[in-house]
Amino acid sequence: MEAISKPVKKKDHDAKMSGRALYVDDHVLDDMLWGRLLHSAKAKARITSILLPQLPEGYYVVDKNDVPGINQVHIVQDDTPVFVEDTVEYVGDPILMVVGPELKQVERILKEIVVVYEELVPVLDMLKSDTVFFKYNYAKGDMEKALQEADRVFIETFQTGYQEQAYLETQGMLAYPHDGRMTVRGSLQCPYYVHGAVAKALGYEEKDVQVIQDVTGGGFGGKEAFPSILACQTAVAAKKANKPVKVIFERREDMEFTSKRHPSICTYKVAVKDGEITGMDIDVLFNSGAYTTLSPVVLQRGLICANGVYRLDNLRVVGRAVKTNTVPCGAYRGFGAPQTFFAVEMMMDHLAKEMGLDSLELKQKYMVKQGDATSTGGKYHFHVPLPEMIEQIDELTNYREKRRQYRNQTGRYRKGIGMSLFFHGCGFTGSGERDIIKAVVRIRKNPDETVEILASNSDIGQGLKTTFSKIVADTLGISLDRVLIENPDTDRVPDSGPTVASRSLMTVGGLLRRAAERLKDEWKAGEEQVIEEHFVEPDFVIPFSITEFKGDAYPTYSWSVNAIEVEVDTLTATTKILGAWGTFDVGVPVDLNIILGQMQGGFLQGIGYASMEEMNCNEQGMIRNNSLSDYIIPTALDVPNLVTKIINNPYTHGPYGAKGAGELPLVGAAPAYVEAMENALGVNLNKAPFTPEDTMRVLQGGLK
Amino acid sequence: MVKFRLNGQEVVSQAQANQRLLDVLRQEFRITGVKCGCKEGECGACSVILDGQLVNSCLVALGSIEGSTVTTIEGYRETERFAALDKAYASVSAVQCGFCIPGMILASECILAKNPNPTEAEIRAGISGNLCRCTGYNAIVQAISIAAEEGKGLW
């Protein structure tokens, strides 16, 4: 273990452990009003009228007419309204907000409001969508020729469902006007995203908006874009009432109306000639929901991963993100990759069976290595540690032997084991970091010889305050307690970009390392010094063109191999997870405990996605599983101790060798789990999550 | 008017008897260590110790606790047992977003109070009413084991 990896007590430990940490709902301001949204009850309708009850003194109704700036939330494209105009596009579309001093009164008023809808026919099925929000395609080699010359062409379709982030703290925001400015604080990942959105909605100059991140009870992507929407609504209400307004989502409201992982349908057409895979023709379909939000970037990442970790001479990938009248989907840890990695890993498993091989054997044959081209004609510039990771997992699990043993089982209890190989591209897709984000960090040395980190990245539980501080302290050779870091406040910190895409530690941490190196050189005892650093793209990167889908989509990749072993009770259709193993390459861990915590937490979210987290709409477009009673996330009893191993594979351009970490562990759990279910049940499976109900369907169809 | 003991002090609530204990603690007594995650007894973020039992305070009506003893993290953090758990949780970095933590710590206390030497399975059962979305539970389970070991004699 490298010195930097040695765990320390986390910077935020004491406040959180003792219950002293204040989350947005813990703040109560004088004269504060409570806000609650009225959401559309219809999936698609024109609003013909809204009948309001008599409002008591001090209560307000806030809607589109109160938006002083532009009634659009700035995300990527700006089609999401702050409050709806005349039509509603999904069950949950925000129509208005009621604010007032007593929450119970606010709720009573909400119940008395009558919205008269002229219902229109919604599109709920992504296969029936008539609106393509985004379409991308890319290819290499000659796919048509590969298909024409193939001995056999295998065609399969794979489906994945919604996944809800289910952060323990629901969405919440508090806005207060003062001195001609607006301050917004709350549970959020990206202070400057919120900042830009609020300025636009209020029609304020950027200097007149302040955004502060409160202690945030989990995000996982769910607090990347959605807080911009809620912040605009809350700020507009605070502006109208000229008082502080706080909005805290109820759990059901949060589960039903906030963004989730995109459901997907992927079709793979694979050409095989002379026992070799000669090409993959891949069609990817993502359900965006009613507005575009982050769909273009989620889709891009999904497409780039569509051929998995496999080297293919001929490849054609087409992807669409389509509109439906359902809740808008957005960012969730993995960001499009879990969907296509599920599909390609299952496809390889099924192909192997057709070829009379075990899936691992086939996968190993096509696995990429350093120097190989990526799907988009970039390059794997650095060591690809998959071979040693596979051996490590095989040693831990006896995988190869068990795969053989578990074929053709009989009896009530049947075991299975599955393995997945995968990567996560580190940082923003393509040239976003260079062309759009242009991250800036500062560190300030105070006369008392403490050093403060000024960056806009938020610690949402992933340990960023600690890892950032370790980088600065170690570089300067000072003790950790002399490095100060507060929750970001846009009045004090520069825009170092959002807390997303597994970029914070690698990219922003790298800027902090450079800033600290400079400060060390220029250190003047007893004086105040401020050092600023700006993002510079590493010179080895092959520039990425989004129009051509060509070049290095990512500077480097984090790698992982997972294995999951299950035991299926064929009488009850329930499945017990006997073991879950993962080995992870995230460069060099800047703190071993923090990285293990990230790997274990992400792995369990992936196991949930694979096995139990099912969410669907009914025929009216309403989310049916809108509570933690109906949408089941794993408890401590649902899994054994997760075995997580870290390998050191230093990334030369990351701080202390670190690269992206946060998202990686979620990406490969679903294919490992579903492959284990196939191994146990002796059938091919094409969907995730694969729940006990799905097992029951297979069992009722009769086991082979 | 309902009288009960809150973190070692006699208190009187003026709230209606049908109010959730969760809301009374957060709003009337400004006890912010009790977190609201779902209001339907699924997540455990609002866990408190009520007469020695771990309960979801969102499912307890104020009127039912007349004369009872309620401990939240605000009271518990003053104890030696908390100090042992604190050290153990810190040593394995078991705290991530922190929202489940006040409830999780009280759950840890209830496990150890009943059984000072719990097995891994017993620990898992004991925290199974407290959801954590961040950690995958490994570190929390490990922290409780460490506290049991290092805090011998405290429980």
Helix (H), strand (E), coil (C) string for A611-623: HCCCCCECCCCCE
Tens digits of per-residue pLDDT, A29-57? 999 999 999 999 999 999 999 999 999 99
Q: Please calculate the CA angle B107-B108-B109 and round it to the nearest 5 degrees.
A: 90
Domain identity same for A528 and A601: no
Angle between helices A509-522 and A464-476 (to 10 degrees): 30
B126 by DSSP, 3-state: which?
Answer: helix
Whether residue A218 is contained in a domain is answered as yes
Which residues from B are below 8 Å from A6, CB to CB? none
Whether residue A161 is contained in a domain is answered as no
- Which residue range forms the structural domain that includes residue A52? 24-121+170-249
Please give the single-letter amino acid code of residue B8. Answer: G
What are the 10-residue block averages of pLDDT along chain A, 704 residues in total? 96 98 98 98 98 98 98 96 98 98 98 98 98 97 98 98 98 97 98 98 98 98 98 98 98 98 98 98 98 98 98 97 98 98 98 96 98 97 98 98 94 98 96 93 98 98 98 98 98 98 97 98 98 96 94 98 98 98 98 98 98 97 96 97 97 97 98 98 97 96 66
ipTM of this complex = 0.99
**Do A596 and B139 count as a contact with CB atoms less than 8 A apart?**
yes
Spatial separation of the C-alpha atoms in residues A274 and A270, rounded to whole Å: 13
For residue A503 the two structure tokens come to: 């970029």
Domain identity same for A407 and A465: no
Residue B151 touches partner A, C-beta closer than 8 Å: no
Domain identity same for A423 and A465: no
Domain identity same for A606 and A686: yes
Whether residue A238 is contained in a domain is answered as yes
Q: Give yes or no for a contact between A693 and A572, defined as CB atoms under 8 angstroms apart.
A: no
Q: Give yes or no for a contact between A630 and A624, defined as CB atoms under 8 angstroms apart.
A: yes
Q: For residue A61, what is the domain's CATH number?
A: 3.90.1170.50
Task: Quote the pLDDT of residue A243.
Answer: 98
CA nearest to A297, candidates A255, A332, A257: A332
Tens digits of per-residue pLDDT, A402-434? 999 999 899 999 999 999 999 999 999 998 899
Q: Domain ends where: A249, A275, A303?
A: A249
When CB atoms are compared, the residue of B42, B133, B139 closest to A167 is: B133
Place of tokens 């009790």: B34
Instruction: Give me the count of residues in chain A.
Output: 704
Q: Give yes or no for a contact between A490 and A450, defined as CB atoms under 8 angstroms apart.
A: no
Identify the closest residue of chain A to B104 by CA–CA distance.
Answer: A17
- pLDDT tens for each residue of chain B, 155 residues long: 999 999 999 999 999 999 999 999 999 999 999 999 999 999 999 999 999 999 999 999 999 999 999 999 999 999 999 999 999 999 999 999 999 999 999 999 999 999 999 999 999 999 999 999 999 999 999 999 999 999 999 99
Identify the closest residue of chain A to B123 by CA–CA distance.
Answer: A636
Q: Is the model's pTM score more than 0.95?
A: yes
Helix residue ranges per DSSP H, A398-463: 399-405, 432
- Interface list for B 60-79 with A (CB within 8 A): 72-74, 77
Identify the closest residue of chain A to B85 by CA–CA distance.
Answer: A17
For residue A108 the two structure tokens come to: 């009573």
Task: Quote the pLDDT of residue A703.
Answer: 58
**Do B133 and A170 count as a contact with CB atoms less than 8 A apart?**
no
Identify the closest residue of chain A to B39 by CA–CA distance.
Answer: A251
For residue A575 the two structure tokens come to: 């499945």
Our CA-based measurement puts residue A214 at a distance from the nearest CA of chain B, in whole angstroms, of 11
Q: Domain ends where: A225, A249, A273?
A: A249
CA nearest to B78, candidates B154, B8, B148: B8
Domain identity same for A279 and A320: yes
Domain identity same for A612 and A677: yes
When CB atoms are compared, the residue of A22, A461, A603 closest to B96 is: A461
Domain identity same for A319 and A399: yes
Task: Quote the pLDDT of residue B28.
Answer: 97
Give chain A's domain count: 3
When CB atoms are compared, the residue of B86, B97, B137 closest to A216 is: B97
- How many other CB atoms sit within 10 Å of the CB of residue A395? 9
Percent of chain A with pLDDT over 70: 100
- How many other CB atoms sit within 10 Å of the CB of residue A524? 10
Our CA-based measurement puts residue B100 at a distance from the nearest CA of chain A, in whole angstroms, of 7
A390 by DSSP, 3-state: which?
Answer: helix
Run of H or E residues at A238: helix A226-241
Place of tokens 């995300």: A75
**CB-count exposure of residue A670 (10 Å: 0-12, 13-18, 19+):** buried
Q: For residue A526, what is the domain's CATH number?
A: 3.30.365.10
Domain identity same for A188 and A106: yes
DSSP bridge partners of A452: A444, A484
Which residues from B are below 8 Å from A220, CB to CB? 133
Whether residue A315 is contained in a domain is answered as yes
Q: Domain ends where: A534, A567, A590?
A: A534
Domain identity same for A616 and A492: no
Our CA-based measurement puts residue A392 at a distance from the nearest CA of chain B, in whole angstroms, of 21
**Do A463 and B36 count as a contact with CB atoms less than 8 A apart?**
no
Task: Quote the pLDDT of residue A1.
Answer: 86
When CB atoms are compared, the residue of B38, B72, B141 closest to A251 is: B38
Domain identity same for A297 and A211: no
Domain identity same for A232 and A294: no
Place of tokens 């607006």: A182
Could you tell me the domains of chain B?
Answer: 2-75 (3.10.20.30), 79-150 (1.10.150.120)
Which residues from B are below 8 Å from A18, CB to CB? 33, 73, 77, 86
**Max alpha carbon distance in chain B (Å)?**
44
Q: Are strands A264-273 and A483-484 parallel, antiparallel or unpaired?
A: unpaired
Domain identity same for A578 and A679: yes
Residue B11 touches partner A, C-beta closer than 8 Å: no
**Do A596 and B37 count as a contact with CB atoms less than 8 A apart?**
no
